[in-house]
Amino acid sequence: MGFNNWNSTHCRAEFNEAMVEGIADAFVSQGLKDAGYTYVNIDDCWALPNRDANGNLVPDPVRFPHGIKAVADYVHSKGLKFGLYSSAGTKTCDTQGFPGGLGHEQQDAALWASWGVDYLKYDNCNNNGVDARQRYEAMGDALRATGRPILYSICEWGENQPWNWAPGYGNSWRTTGDISDSWSSMIGIAHHNQPLAPYAKPGAWNDPDMLEVGNGGMTDTEYRTHFSLWAQMAAPLLIGSDLRNVSSATLNILRNTDVIAVDQDALGRQGTVVSSSGGLVVMSRPLADGGRSVTLTNENTTAKTVSTTAEAIGLGGAASYSLRDLWSKQTSTTTGAISASVPAHGTVMYRVTPGTPVPPPTGVDQLGDLPWTSAVNGWGPVERNLSNGEQAAGDGHTLTINGTTYAKGLGTHAASDIAYYLGGTCSRLTVSAGVDDEAGGTKGSVVFRVYRDDTLVADSGRMTGTDPAKTLTADLTGGLELRLVVTDSEDGIDYDHADWAEPRLTCA
């Protein structure tokens, strides 16, 4: 969370030392520091076009007459952190052609650390065709070698699928090209970033670019959608407007601590699309307290009703649910239906908290027929009595493991975690576990684990698409909660379609 000047100033003359220090002042005076914003970052055009005789970068003496270290010291004096910009090429992205970091990684990183830099945005221009991993790994190694904690923001625009390799080098990676201050740009970037939810985790984030909130190209309703979706997608919240002269409406959006709490939730899971039809989009995000945040977005140009259910967003098993509207601050309860009239280009955002769960009925039941209390899945929703399929609900097929079909069960995709409330009334689970044939034979490699509360009571070991189903039996006696967990076995999450086939639960 923080600020970057590019969206409001680009490379114009008003980008200078006074502006950056004024932003740091505004963080404190306008309550943004208290709301969690930490980094005051500068973008391209801070340096002179040429290095000095020793090959070092030189701050532009007109823009920064006291140098970068003095600005970093000022930012630090406010209890904030300071970030700057470079490019993994011979020159940066601005047409004036400031020096990039390619071939100067260790020299530049050491210089930045000596200035007190806490954050690096590393762009992708003028890279001379050098392999992206090589370029970004070199700077990551150089930053670590300084011994100073520096957040490393890889700005590769998603061109080489950085979500597959950037977590090994940096803390975030751009998934798209640059945002602009318009509804079409913002919502298009959201659409591009949404399917990448499985790759986000604590310390490693999808970055759909900086915020345009307050720059004037969208309505306040559209800016609320912008802010809501970025929070729901666990994205960095880097303010892109000049905080010295923004409206009170803009500040109210940027300081919405309920929405910020979703963005910063400790579980660190990016929200996923659970339904999308006719411009009505529902996203659900699991939260550390066991609840969910849900966004109901209307991408149409007229008001519409957007609806979903507690089960569809990954909750179930409770008699009622509390809904808190994170923009209006109103609270209500529901037995499962979640719905709102949403204005054109608007978003209603709820925090959904389940009430007391209900234990399973007496006897032997198929888990696929019972309500779970929560379900998190790596690719699309958990499917009842179908394989995982793709990202839409109900798009799976008959559960099939190594040629054997099953009528009942749960179709999942690593990483997944499904919880059921037992209430101490159940004694046994028996299930056939395996990789579904829709993964493609030799593809897919997962581990199935069953937990009674925090105790591991069954473990499949590594399984692939070539293995027959494995029968797991778990003792659940006295347990309050059952958890079915599927993890990737370190081969990558592609094709990890995992079936809990014929899961029979015996209770009371």
Residue positions annotated with a catalytic role:
123, 178
By DSSP bridging, strand 404-406 and strand 399-401 are antiparallel
Q: Contact 336/270 with Cβ under 8 angstroms?
A: no
Instruction: Look at residues 216, 218, 219 and name the one whose alpha carbon lies nearest to residue 242.
Output: 216
What is the three-state SS of 474-498? Answer: EECCCCCEEEEEEEECCCCCCCCEE
Q: Contact 475/452 with Cβ under 8 angstroms?
A: yes
Tally of CA atoms within 13 A in the half-sphere of 329 that contains its CB: 4
What is the three-state SS of 70-136? Answer: HHHHHHHHCCCEEEEEEECCCECCCCCCCECCCCCHHHHHHHHHHHCCCEEEEECCCCCCCCHHHHH
Chain position carrying tokens 């000047």: 5
Structure tokens at 37: 């914003």
Partners of residue 286 on adjacent β-strands: 292
Positive or negative, the CA dihedral 329, 331, 336, 342 is negative
Other beta carbons within 10 Å of 452: 21
Residue spans of alpha helices (H) in 242-362: 248-254, 257-263
Chain position carrying tokens 């699928």: 161
Determine the Cα–Cα distance for residues 473 and 428; give it in Å rounded to an integer: 7
By DSSP bridging, strand 497-507 and strand 363-366 are antiparallel
Q: Contact 156/173 with Cβ under 8 angstroms?
A: yes
Determine the Cα–Cα distance for residues 431 and 80; give it in Å rounded to an integer: 52
Instruction: Look at residues 430, 483, 439 and name the one whose alpha carbon lies nearest to residue 463.
Output: 439
CA 7-189-208 angle, to 5 degrees, is: 65
DSSP per residue, 423-466 = TT-EEEEEEEEEE-GGGTTT--EEEEEEEETTEEEEEEEEEETT
Instruction: Look at residues 202, 368, 373, 201 and name the one whose alpha carbon lies nearest to residue 290.
Output: 373
